[in-house]
Structure 1
């Protein structure tokens, strides 16, 4: 990633929801680069399509907990099991090579899925603090599916929220845009066709619960 990039689009927790992902990419104003904080797969009915978008666009991505468990075959829920069945060996190999963390743009932006010091730990909005930051200007987190950002003297901590399965009371797909020049963030939402995703889930082996929760969380 080039150091000249200034406006960075942040994605996280896509969770096999290609309709939401495409809505986000269509809605997002021009940015210099995209970054993903993990969990491309799990829960949703289109893991292949979501993985293809991230891979084809060469979006720097860290490994989420669902990505990891699908690779390992230790699936937690029906969307994981579905992803494990439909992804190709090449897809699984690509997921397996995703890193735990990334430092980009002259190490000014750090990306992890969960907590910078503890894998699989939820970093809730109440946990956002300057102590999460190391020497980066911006720390990007996912995992909670809760969109939130806080600015400190030490830098900016951002969870862009979940593209494919928000859990913060707003069902619209979530993303964020950060500006490395002035260390600001725009938290963004975009509606998408939830019913079409719910119908697609019904056509798979994925539990209907995964579709029902899209509209209420």
Structure 2
């Protein structure tokens, strides 16, 4: 199974033209949050319509910049993994949206205690051969390094032995692939034309960098 992973578009939907132009066919698109930068919902709808011309199956979680009205609109066009865990083939996709506290008072943030409690519900699912957690925020000390240090979630770090793969975003400079119990993959800053194609069988990644 091949996934096109996108995170942190922040409303720059025109970037998708360049990303999709160089993208091989995939089985599913995964959006790891921040489709918008506080809205409006119409930007999210426009983004999803572009994505669905490329691949009809789109899974998402909201980011800390996707307010509730955006999330409600996205749900009409794509699968919200927090609301609807999804099985495709032998793979279970789970979702954890929003982010840990940023200090910037963005629309959707949670304390570490809230993340830990949410994860108890999210991970309370029957075992599958492969489990992919799509999370906007990264686990602490993985793909979360910033000039001010590691900014990932310690509560999410505790989930590294509960899933096989975590696809995340949030840290725009945190692009990469790390094996730390689970594979942790940040596809990059879609706002600047970055994305990734992930082969779940081989765990090979094609990194996409579009200048459009």
Fold shared, TM-score > 0.5 on shorter chain: yes
Q: Deviations over 1:29-55 (max 9, x none)?
A: 222221111111117997142143346
1:103–1:110 CA contact under 8 A, matched in 2? no
Offset of residue 177 of structure 1 = 1.4
Deviations 1:144-175 (A, max 9, x none): 222522332633101111212xxxxxxx4100
After superposing the two structures, state which structure 1 stretch, 40-49 or 8-17, moved more.
Answer: 40-49
Q: Distance in 1 between matches of 2:62 and 2:38?
A: 16
CA–CA separation in structure 2 for the residues paired with 1:69 and 1:50: 17
Within 2, Cα distance between the matches of 1:137 and 1:24?
26
Instruction: Give the 3-state SS of the residue equivalent to 2:16 in structure 1.
Output: helix
Structure 1 equivalent of residue 119 of structure 2:
none
Equivalent-residue separation in structure 1 for 2:75 and 2:200 (angstroms): 32
Q: CA deviation at 1:130?
A: 7.2
**Structure 2 partner of 1:111:** 134
- Give per-residue Cα distances to partners, 1:82-114, cap 9 Å, x unaligned: xxxxxxxx737749x834485654222210111
Partner SS state of residue 150, structure 1:
strand
SS in 1 for 2:60: coil
Q: Greater Rg, structure 1 or structure 2?
A: 1
**Aligned equivalent of 1:35:** 30
Match of 1:49 in 2: 46
Higher helix residue share: 1
Once residues 130 and 114 of structure 1 are traced to their aligned partners in structure 2, the CA distance between those partners, rounded to angstroms, is 11
Structure 1 residues 71 and 31: alpha-carbon distance in aligned structure 2, compared to 1, 3 A threshold: closer
Gaps of 5+ in 1: 1-5, 73-89, 165-171, 193-217
- Equivalent residues of 2:19, 2:193 under 8 A apart: yes
- 1:65/1:94 CA distance change after superposition, 3 Å: farther
Q: 1:138 aligns with which of 158, 165, 181?
A: 165
Kept in 2: contact 1:15–1:42 (CA 8 A): yes
Question: Within the alignment, does 1:64 sit opposite 2:63 as a pair?
Answer: yes
Q: Residue 61 of structure 1 aligns to a residue in which SS?
A: strand
The SS at the match of 1:65 is: coil
What residue is the counterpart of 1:163 in the other structure?
190
**Separation in structure 2 between the aligned mates of residue 133 and residue 43 of structure 1, nearest angstrom:** 30
Normalising by structure 1, report the TM-score.
Answer: 0.58
Residue ranges of structure 2 left out of the alignment (5+ in a row): 93-130
CA–CA distance in structure 2, aligned partners of residues 8 and 94 of structure 1:
21
- Match of residue 91 from structure 1: 73
